[in-house]
Copies of this chain bind each other. A is one copy, B any other.
Amino acid sequence: MNHDSSLVNRLTDRLIAGELRPGERLSETALAKEFDVSRNTLREAFRVLGEQGLVTHIPHRGVSVASPSTADVVDIYRVRHHVECSVLEHAPRNHPNAVRMEAAVEAAERFAAEENWLEVGTANMAFHNAVVSLSDSRRLMQSFSNVLAELRLAFLKVEVLDFLHAPFISRNKEVIEVYRTEGSAAAAKILGAYLGDSERQVLGAYARAGQD
């Protein structure tokens, strides 16, 4: 995805894989040693991750893996509503990137069959990134991708990947189907409802987990 600084990639990989858990403190010296880089280069990587929202930086207290609060989840879903729905609503009828959406759904189904929920989640992210790619806007895709990555940390925080992802594969398919047959506006409505339900599920999981 990012073809720049390999260090940022290595860190994001660990983050979205859940190997660095939300809220976990990231010691500079420890991580520098682990990734075999100097503290200074690690700090540069921290700054970009911080700007992407994957990591929280508090001056003189170091950085931790972002640990989205319920307020953050609500905020993230606000972004999703505005961006995803608006893009889908105004998408041209047969946008080439629709195949990306289909590919993502197929991948999700494959991984769901294997009960590999982490990869199902990745495929789900790919689906929604594909939706936003219908905008043909690099910046929109970039910003949105960051927000989705942050949302994944929210999923990891409450540790119920299966329950959160499984029911939504079929709804992804429905979005594609409606987009193909009835057009953008109808599909955007479906997607909006989808997102509302998804948000409720996540917030419910937060409440059950007793998280803030």
A interface residues (Cβ-Cβ under 8 A, vs B):
4, 40, 43-45, 47-48, 50-53, 57, 59, 75-76, 78-79, 81-83, 85-87, 90, 135-140, 143, 147
Contacts and interface: CB of A to CB of B under 8 A. Distances in A.
Given A44-B43, A44-B44, A86-B85, A140 B51 contact: no
Given A4-B57, A86-B86, 6 more contacts: A4-B59, A43-B44, A47-B51, A75-B139, A78-B140, A139-B147
A43 B81 CA distance: 35
A48 B47 CA distance: 6
Contacts of A147: 139
What is the copy number of this chain in the assembly?
Answer: 2
A136 B76 CA distance: 11
Contact of A139 (B79, B85, B138): B79
Residue with the highest number of chain B CB atoms closer than 10 Å, among A51, A76, A147: A51
A140 B82 contact: yes
A59 B158 CA distance: 38
Nearest to A147: B139
A53 B85 contact: no
29 contacts: A4-B59, A40-B40, A40-B43, A43-B44, A44-B47, A45-B47, A47-B47, A47-B51, A48-B48, A48-B51, A51-B51, A53-B139, A75-B138, A75-B139, A76-B139, A78-B135, A78-B136, A78-B137, A78-B140, A79-B137, A79-B140, A81-B90, A82-B87, A82-B90, A82-B135, A82-B140, A83-B83, A85-B86, A143-B143
